[in-house]
Structure 1
Amino acid sequence: MDSDFSIYDIILCTIGIAHISTDPKMEQKYYAINRDLPILIAKKAKMAGVKQFVFFSSMIVFGDDLQINETLFITNTTKPKPSNFYGKSKLEAEIQLLQLVSEDFCVTVIRTPMVYGENCKGNFQKLISFSRKAMIFPDIPNQRSMIYIFNLCEFVLNCLYNNITGIVYPQNSEYVGTSSIIECARKCQGKSVHFITIFNPLLYLVSRRIGLIRKIFGSRIYDRKLSPNIEAYNIFTFEESIQRCVQSIKTVP
């Protein structure tokens, strides 16, 4: 790296690869990008006199989703338990980065829950698109900690202004279930949805074997005590954020 970091006060490290592959051949690439590269950058930044290093980690360090009828409730005593090399590489990066903290160099580790927003990639965007046709949907009472991208941006600004050091846990003010996302998206489209429970027993059963079902209907939340001053950065409500996501889809050619 030939970049001159001495001209910067803060480095935001968003480098990373996520759920691209579970192929064991990819393992070393995950560690190289998610762990080794951020550590290298942080060390160079510290030597150059940078005051703060912000590392975007993930809720994934606590493991994958549980079965549908179980909740992963994360508190300040919950120990990280990553289940794959994506989570392990993030956790190992966190540990080594926090060892660099000194009086003149603070490290902020942001363990984000699911981040969503306009035209984002992944399962959330598919869910919003699916809502257009979802006249019926399974009524499963799951809960998620999530954060809208602009709420996350506001949270990051607060971390920068206050020189926050350590691990932080941003989230929306509301825990949200998958059915709530569908219902809100349909409402923003001027439509309604009918929730049914007839398939719930089958979904509970297949969630034991199929990870995608757990991702859609699983429950994984941060204790609100992990997220102090939550209203300070939640500049958009859940309903407002879904409205903006629905409108963005309408404007895409």
Structure 2
Amino acid sequence: MKKILITGADSYIGTCFEKWVGQWPDQYQVDTVDMKDGSWQEKDFSNYDVVFHVAGIAHVSSDPKMEELYYKVNRDLTIKTAEKARAEGVRQFVFMSSIIVYGDSNSKKRVIDKNTVPSPCNFYGNSKLQAEEGISALETDSFKIAIIRPPMIYGKGSKGNYPRLASLAKKTPIFPDFENERSMLHIDNLCEFIKVIVDHQDAGVFFPQNKEYVKTSHLVKTIAEIHGKKIWMTRIFYPVLKLMFGIGIVNKVFGNLVYEKSMSEYDKVNYRLRSFRESIKLTESRD
């Protein structure tokens, strides 16, 4: 049985992962620890095979007053947690980083491959990258480090851009048909990926994503269809949107940012259990 400690009580990814592996109660024992105060330092890590570190500030902020907090939480707390895990005999440390370490999306087609050098464009991305560098230095033969750099994660109850787009899809009769490509990752596919990484005690940097790239207008149209709504896609806004690139919300919604597909293959197990349309149905279901 794998004994897993999730850092970050009530986090979306941590909660979903705990529920996912709960399907096999005889194979996984999962506990969580709250990292919001210093009490986690008194927790005995020696009882666990794996520490799954999801605690952190997940949203992007441009407020300079937040910069110190980002580094304190996303970088310093991560490194301290990994140091404690190694000192107390944990065998694997799994860290949730982000595609954001490669910078923001933009108007031109942008494909990240294994030769792409990380280049964060904000202190959120930089704090994640510095955390990666800090924990990588701790790896030994008996202490494996797995760094996961997912693209946009979505699923029932998720936060961020997806629920905003879903809300818009259910209300608006018209949406821009803008040509772009995004890598996305449904929460079930992510949870399965983490499970197999833990099962095989893998180390390295990983780039899980759905099998399909997604065009924003196709995403919005699919959400609308699932709710029985009709939505008209138009290219009339195309010139305006091209001029508006550089504005944060436009980049996030209509920008291009994908992983080259071979980076996300995992030859041991098929972790991509949900197709795009199935994942949208599950996300939009009322159950």
The answer to whether TM tops 0.5 is yes
Whether 1:61 and 2:101 are equivalent positions in the alignment is: yes
Q: Distance between the aligned counterparts of 1:229 and 1:25, measured in 2?
A: 40
When structure 1 is superposed on structure 2, of 191-200 and 101-110 the one drifting more is 191-200
Identity rate, percent: 43
Residue 226 of structure 1 corresponds to 263
The alpha-carbon deviation at position 72 of structure 1 amounts to 2.1
Partner amino acid for 2:102?
A: F
Aligned length: 246
The alpha-carbon deviation at position 20 of structure 1 amounts to 5.4
Residue pair 2:61, 2:124 contacting (<8 A) in 1 also: no
1:71 to 109, 120, 134: 109
Residue pair 2:173, 2:232 contacting (<8 A) in 1 also: yes
Superposed CA deviations along residues 123-177 of structure 1, whole A, max 9, x for unmatched, are 2101111111232211111111010011100000010111111100000010001
2:81 to 41, 48, 52: 41
Whether 1:15 and 2:44 are equivalent positions in the alignment is: no
Superposed CA deviations along residues 166-194 of structure 1, whole A, max 9, x for unmatched, are 10000001000111111111221123322
1:122 to 160, 164, 180: 160
Partner amino acid for 1:218?
A: G
Residue 241 of structure 1 corresponds to 279
Q: Distance between the aligned counterparts of 2:89 and 2:238, measured in 1?
A: 56
TM-score by structure 1 length? Answer: 0.93
1:205 to 221, 226, 243: 243
Report the RMSD for the aligned CA atoms in angstroms: 1.4
Q: Distance between the aligned counterparts of 2:274 and 2:156, measured in 1?
A: 13
Structure 1 residues 131 and 112: alpha-carbon distance in aligned structure 2, compared to 1, 3 A threshold: same
The alpha-carbon deviation at position 201 of structure 1 amounts to 0.2
Partner amino acid for 1:142?
A: N
Q: Secondary structure at the match of 1:180?
A: helix
The alpha-carbon deviation at position 87 of structure 1 amounts to 0.6
Partner amino acid for 1:44?
A: K
Correspondences of 1:148-159 after superposition (within 5 Å): 148-159=186-197
Residue 251 of structure 2 corresponds to 214
Partner amino acid for 2:122?
A: N
Q: Distance between the aligned counterparts of 1:142 and 1:129, measured in 2?
A: 20
Higher relative contact order (CA 8 A, sep 6+): 1
Q: Secondary structure at the match of 2:126?
A: helix
The alpha-carbon deviation at position 85 of structure 1 amounts to 0.8
When structure 1 is superposed on structure 2, of 178-187 and 16-25 the one drifting more is 16-25
Q: Distance between the aligned counterparts of 1:45 and 1:117, measured in 2?
A: 30
Unpaired runs of 5+ residues, structure 1, are none
Q: Distance between the aligned counterparts of 2:86 and 2:142, measured in 1?
A: 8
Whether 1:93 and 2:131 are equivalent positions in the alignment is: yes
Q: Distance between the aligned counterparts of 1:199 and 1:140, measured in 2?
A: 8
Q: Distance between the aligned counterparts of 1:20 and 1:142, measured in 2?
A: 21
Q: Secondary structure at the match of 2:279?
A: helix
Superposed CA deviations along residues 66-99 of structure 1, whole A, max 9, x for unmatched, are 1x2x022100000000011111110011011111
Correspondences of 1:93-112 after superposition (within 5 Å): 93-112=131-150
* Displacement over 4 Å in runs of 4+: none
Correspondences of 1:138-217 after superposition (within 5 Å): 138-208=176-246, 210-217=247-254
Partner amino acid for 2:58?
A: A
Residue pair 2:60, 2:124 contacting (<8 A) in 1 also: no
Partner amino acid for 1:17?
A: I
